[in-house]
């Protein structure tokens, strides 16, 4: 099989590239590196069944070889990203979804859309079932992401109904793990970087808002299972174990052995008060549920962040030494 993955150099996309290669697929990753990084797929570049195309999927893309599966994971996904890139976020959710559905239609391929728990907005139903229509502010600052994904779901279902395309929609709840960016802006990277540097850990609001964190390998397993079903309506994938943001910050501080104080900042506009998936549909349809305990997943992720921060510190020290007075003097003497 040959599988196309947009956003293939991103956090989740790069893990999907690995998984489909392990399954024996040829993998074509598409990424414009707006928020994805070449580092995430550097270890795959020599693989004989892997190819990366640098392209913004908001613009049409022709694939000259037969494609069996299309997974659309391209989009800024962190609030800090889509607040900075609102128009790009709207375009990749609308035009990008249209273009990838067109590729799937042209190749009669399976199609899977990466949607999000953000379609539920600040939910009035708890936990959130797939049948819940959500509580979204369409003109708020977060609306560019929420509404882009809601439109993408509607477009995907239209292609299924009108063109009989074999489509699937996964609503992804908070996911974490290796290859998250240090400057991602979401709670976990912020907390881990701050804790490892013994800097103040920033909690927004009073920290009573809740989230449910799912480790990346569990999410990838659910996505693969969903792709190869004949089910077309949205499916929640996430860990139903709920925790408050303040408890989460304290958990990470303790795990890191950090002396960081916790400080509080104003809550961002439209920040959801609660978030927990009802995964009954995933359990029944896919036989899926999370397997990695949060403590284990956090340990793995913390080790990754330690390595990344150590490499960053080494790079900064190297840059400083290369511009030290002695080096500047010797360069001047040579010029």
Specify the pLDDT at position 335. Answer: 25
Buried b (16+ CB within 10 A) or exposed e, 179-189: bbbeebebbbb
Specify the pLDDT at position 176. Answer: 98
pLDDT confidence tier of residue 316, bands split at 50, 70 and 90 = confident
SS (H, E, C) 126-163: CCECCCCCCECCCCCCCHHHHHHHHHHHHHHHHHHHHH
Per-residue tokens: 101? 């559905």
pLDDT confidence tier of residue 321, bands split at 50, 70 and 90 = low
pLDDT confidence tier of residue 333, bands split at 50, 70 and 90 = very low
Q: What are the pLDDT digits (tens) for 149-190?
A: 999 999 999 999 999 999 999 999 999 999 999 988 899 999
* Structural domains present in the chain: 2-178+213-240+276-291 (3.40.50.720)
pLDDT confidence tier of residue 331, bands split at 50, 70 and 90 = very low
Specify the pLDDT at position 329. Answer: 34
DSSP string of 215-245, one letter each residue:
EHHHHHHHHHHHHTSS--SEEEES---EEEH
For 121, phi and psi rounded to 5 degrees? 60, -140
Closest CA to 145 of 317, 36, 297, 271: 271
Q: What are the pLDDT digits (tens) for 262-280?
A: 999 999 999 999 999 999 9
The whole-chain average pLDDT of the chain stands at 94
Q: What are the pLDDT digits (tens) for 43-74?
A: 999 999 999 999 999 999 999 999 999 999 99
- Whether the CB-CB separation of 278 and 127 falls below 8 Å is answered with yes
Specify the pLDDT at position 312. Answer: 87
pLDDT confidence tier of residue 320, bands split at 50, 70 and 90 = low
Q: What are the pLDDT digits (tens) for 80-92?
A: 898 999 999 999 9
Q: Would the pLDDT of 286 be above 70?
A: yes
Specify the pLDDT at position 315. Answer: 77
Specify the pLDDT at position 322. Answer: 59
Q: What are the pLDDT digits (tens) for 241-253?
A: 999 999 999 999 9
Closest CA to 152 of 128, 169, 137, 172: 169
Specify the pLDDT at position 175. Answer: 98
Active-site amino acid positions: 145
Per-residue tokens: 185? 């802006």
Q: What are the pLDDT digits (tens) for 93-141?
A: 999 999 999 999 999 999 999 999 999 999 999 999 999 999 999 999 9
- Whether the CB-CB separation of 171 and 115 falls below 8 Å is answered with yes
Report the percentage of the chain scoring pLDDT > 90: 90
Report the percentage of the chain scoring pLDDT > 70: 95
- The C-alpha atoms of residue 21 and residue 48 are separated, in whole angstroms, by 10
- Whether the CB-CB separation of 120 and 274 falls below 8 Å is answered with no
* Enclosing H/E stretch for 5: strand 2-6
Specify the pLDDT at position 327. Answer: 43
For 176, phi and psi rounded to 5 degrees? -140, 165
């Amino acid at each position: 099989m040959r599988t196309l993955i947009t956003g293939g150099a991103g956090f989740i996309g790069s893990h999907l590239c690995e998984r489909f290669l392990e399954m024996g697929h040829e993998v074509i990753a598409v990424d414009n590196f707006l928020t994805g990084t070449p580092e995430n797929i550097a270890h795959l570049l020599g693989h004989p069944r892997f190819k990366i195309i640098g392209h913004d999927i908001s613009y049409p893309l022709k694939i000259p070889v037969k494609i069996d599966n299309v997974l659309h994971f391209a989009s800024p996904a962190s609030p800090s990203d889509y607040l900075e890139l609102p128009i790009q976020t709207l375009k990749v959710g609308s035009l990008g979804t249209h273009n990838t559905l067109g590729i799937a239609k042209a190749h009669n391929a399976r199609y899977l859309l990466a949607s999000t728990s953000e379609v539920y907005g600040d939910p009035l139903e708890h936990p959130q079932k797939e049948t819940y229509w959500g509580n979204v502010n369409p003109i708020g600052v977060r609306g560019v992401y929420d509404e882009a994904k809601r439109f993408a779901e509607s477009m995907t279902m239209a292609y299924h109904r009108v063109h009989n395309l074999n489509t699937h929609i996964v609503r992804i709840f908070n996911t974490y793990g290796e290859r998250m960016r240090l400057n991602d802006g979401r709670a976990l990277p912020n907390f881990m970087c701050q804790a490892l540097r013994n800097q103040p850990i920033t909690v927004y609001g009073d920290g009573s808002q809740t989230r449910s964190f799912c480790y990346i390998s569990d999410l990838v397993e659910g996505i693969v299972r969903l792709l190869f079903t004949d089910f077309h309506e949205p499916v929640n994938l996430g860990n139903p174990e709920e925790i408050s943001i303040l408890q989460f910050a304290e958990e990470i501080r303790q795990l890191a052995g950090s002396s960081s104080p916790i400080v509080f900042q104003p809550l961002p506009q439209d920040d959801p008060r609660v978030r927990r998936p009802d995964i009954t549909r995933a359990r029944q349809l896919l036989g899926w549920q999370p397997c990695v305990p949060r403590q284990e997943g956090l340990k793995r992720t913390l080790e990754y962040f330690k390595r990344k921060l150590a490499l960053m510190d080494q790079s900064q020290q190297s840059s400083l030494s290369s511009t030290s007075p002695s080096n500047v003097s010797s360069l001047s003497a040579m010029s």
